[in-house]
Structure formats: structure tokens, C-alpha cells
């Protein structure tokens, strides 16, 4: 099944316009969810608008898996996996490194992402399986070419539900690979690895909507998005097993080697 590129562009452009005008969203009053993460009214608004855009331009997508509204893994032929705002604390602080992510995933145990968009205030990307990645430059979509060089940084996923061992693992990898650390939400980390702003990121707390769009973007550009043990990501699960995103298989293997030492 193939998603029409022009329709995907319209979805991404709509969300990019909303991101650039995010100060017009309702006052972001913060509350803490049961898992300890932050949420505000804008999270719900962005998720709802994302789903409206998907239903408008891609009516063949029949189910929603949204971070703020999900009730388990939906059963459907095509699922929109949506993170209205990834990085809610950053949004509330007025920073521009929060992200909106929409992944289109086929349903069932053999399901996988087939298309996606990822948008921030200053940049927007889209992808379709087998078609590479495109980036919005001004008013035009251009083929994205992964930069040759990358910033030697470990992106980290510290949060209220991170296991106790995670801090020690990050320190160990940082020391042995001689790399500084920088905290990044999941979607932002994926985009930084894509664009050369980081080398790797691994997590024990990622969910479907954190990865559905950027994992495909990374795969389409020769990067790595897989389980920490090397298995493929299981797209029929809401809560993911430990995962790793990396610029290359060599980088992913170096992280695994340090973690196992």
C-alpha cells in the first residue's frame, strides 16, 4: 500500500504552519500524567488537529493511536500513530525543539511504518517507505541528503520512568566512547541523528508514537532504528521494548558492546 506524496505534503505543511504559530495555542497549563511525564492542553489540541488532517487527506487511514487518547493498540488496516507534542516541557518553556510526529503504520503483527511526517518550529520532514526522505525548504519540498559528518554527541532519554540502570549506562557509554551527553525527547533525537546533530539514542521507555515516523526516516537514509538487542521493532505494541536509534550499525554495535562489558 502506498501513501500519496502530495497528500502527505499537505499534512506536513499544515502541521508546520501550526507549529510556527504555536503561541496561538491555548495557554499551556502543565499537569503530570500517571507515568510522571508532563502534558498540557496544547498536547491534546495538536493531536486532534493531526488526526483531523490525516482523516481529511488520507481517509484510507482508519484508526488512531494517539499518545493522549489511546486505549491500547487499535485494530485496523492503516493506523495513524500520533504524538501531538513530543517534548511538552520544552513547549511549555517556549523552546523550539518540541516536535509533532505522525506515522502511518500498517496494522497487525506484521505491521510496519509506511509513511510519516515530523515537524518542528523551524523544520519539517516527510518520508514514504522506499522513497527516501524529503525536507521542506521555504515553500518547496526537496530530497533530503544525509550529511556526511555528525556531531559527536550521545542523545539521552532521562525521564521519570527511566530505569535506575539507565544513568549508569549513559555515563559508561559517554566515558568509554568519549562523547558528551545531551538530553533529547524521542522525536527530536531521531531528527538530530537524521540531520547529523547526534550519533545515537537508546531508551527503555519509548512508545509507538515516539518512533513511528522517525524510525522510518532513519531507515530510509541508512541509519539504524531497532531494538536494543538487534531485533526489529515490533509495531504491534504500544509500549516498546528497549530500542536504539543510531547513525550507523557500527555506532549501534559500539553502544551495545559498551553496555555488555
Q: Classify residue 148: in a domain, yes or no.
A: no
Q: Are residues 47 and 109 in the same domain?
A: yes
123 and 41 part of one domain: yes
Looking at residue 131, which CATH number applies to its domain?
Answer: 3.30.540.10
**Looking at 104, 123, 143, which one is the last position of a domain?**
143
First to last CA, the chain: 43
Within-domain flag for 149: no
Q: Is 202 contained in some domain?
A: yes
- Residue 83 phi/psi, 5° resolution? -115, 105
- Residue at 36 is within a domain: yes
3-state SS assignment for residue 23: helix
Domain contains 32: yes
Q: Which secondary structure element, helix H or strand E, spans residue 249, and what is its range? A: helix 249-260
Q: What is the pLDDT along the chain (261 residues), one digit of tens a residue?
A: 789 999 999 999 999 999 988 766 665 577 777 666 777 888 999 999 999 999 999 999 999 999 999 989 998 999 999 999 999 888 888 888 899 999 999 998 889 999 999 999 999 999 999 999 999 999 999 999 999 989 999 999 887 778 889 999 999 999 999 999 999 999 999 999 999 999 999 999 999 999 999 999 999 999 999 999 999 999 999 999 999 999 999 999 999 999 998
Whether residues 33 and 107 share a domain: the answer is: yes
Q: How many domains does the chain have?
A: 2
Residues 74 and 21 in one domain: yes
Residue 189 lies in a domain: yes
Residues 174 and 250 in one domain: yes
pTM: 0.94
42, 167, 170, 184, 243 from 157: Cα distances, Å: 22, 9, 9, 6, 11
Give Cα 37 to chain centroid, integer Å: 16
The pLDDT tens digits of the residues spanning 129-154 come to 999 999 999 999 999 999 998 999 99
**Is residue 37 domain-shared with residue 110, that is, in the same domain?**
yes
Q: Which strand ranges, in their side-by-side order, compose the sheet holding 133-137?
A: 63-66, 78-86, 99-106, 113-119, 124-128, 133-137, 140-143
CATH for 201: 3.40.190.80
Q: Which residue matches cell numbers 511538552?
A: 88
Give the range of the structural domain holding residue 224, as residue numbers without chain letter: 154-260
pLDDT the model gives residue 256: 96
Q: Among 143, 166, 188, where does a domain finish?
A: 143
240 domain-assigned: yes
228 in the same domain as 202: yes
Q: Which three cell numbers stand for residue 182?
A: 545531551
Residue 179 lies in a domain: yes
Name the domain boundary from 93, 110, 143: 143
My answer on whether 51 and 76 are in the same domain is yes
Amino acid at each position: 500500500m502506498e501513501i500519496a506524496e502530495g497528500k502527505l505534503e499537505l499534512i506536513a505543511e499544515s502541521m508546520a504552519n501550526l507549529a510556527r504559530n504555536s503561541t496561538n495555542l491555548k495557554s499551556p497549563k502543565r499537569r503530570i500524567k500517571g507515568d510522571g511525564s508532563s502534558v498540557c492542553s496544547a498536547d491534546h489540541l495538536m493531536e486532534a488537529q493531526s488526526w483531523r488532517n490525516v482523516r481529511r487527506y488520507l481517509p484510507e487511514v482508519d484508526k488512531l493511536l494517539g499518545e493522549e487518547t489511546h486505549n491500547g493498540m487499535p485494530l485496523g488496516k492503516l493506523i495513524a500513530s500520533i504524538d501531538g507534542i513530543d517534548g511538552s516541557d520544552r513547549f511549555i518553556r517556549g523552546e523550539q525543539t518540541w516536535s509533532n510526529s505522525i506515522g502511518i503504520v500498517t496494522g497487525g503483527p506484521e505491521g510496519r511504518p509506511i509513511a510519516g511526517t515530523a515537524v518542528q518550529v523551524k523544520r519539517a520532514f516527510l518520508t514514504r517507505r522506499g522513497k527516501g526522505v524529503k525536507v521542506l525548504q521555504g515553500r518547496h519540498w526537496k530530497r533530503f541528503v544525509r550529511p556526511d559528518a555528525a556531531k559527536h554527541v550521545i542523545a539521552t532519554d532521562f525521564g521519570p520512568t527511566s530505569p535506575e540502570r539507565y544513568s549508569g549506562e549513559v555515563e559508561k557509554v559517554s566515558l568509554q566512547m568519549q562523547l558528551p551527553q545531551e538530553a533529547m525527547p524521542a522525536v527530536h533525537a531521531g531528527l538530530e541523528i537524521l540531520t547529523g546533530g547526534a550519533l545515537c539514542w537508546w531508551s527503555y521507555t519509548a512508545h509507538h508514537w515516539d518512533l513511528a515516523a522517525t524510525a522510518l526516516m532513519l531507515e530510509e537514509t541508512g541509519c539504524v532504528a531497532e531494538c536494543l538487542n538487534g531485533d526489529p521493532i515490533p509495531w504491534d505494541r504500544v509500549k516498546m521494548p528497549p530500542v536504539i536509534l543510531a547513525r550507523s550499525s557500527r555506532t549501534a554495535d559500539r553502544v551495545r558492546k559498551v553496555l555488555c562489558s
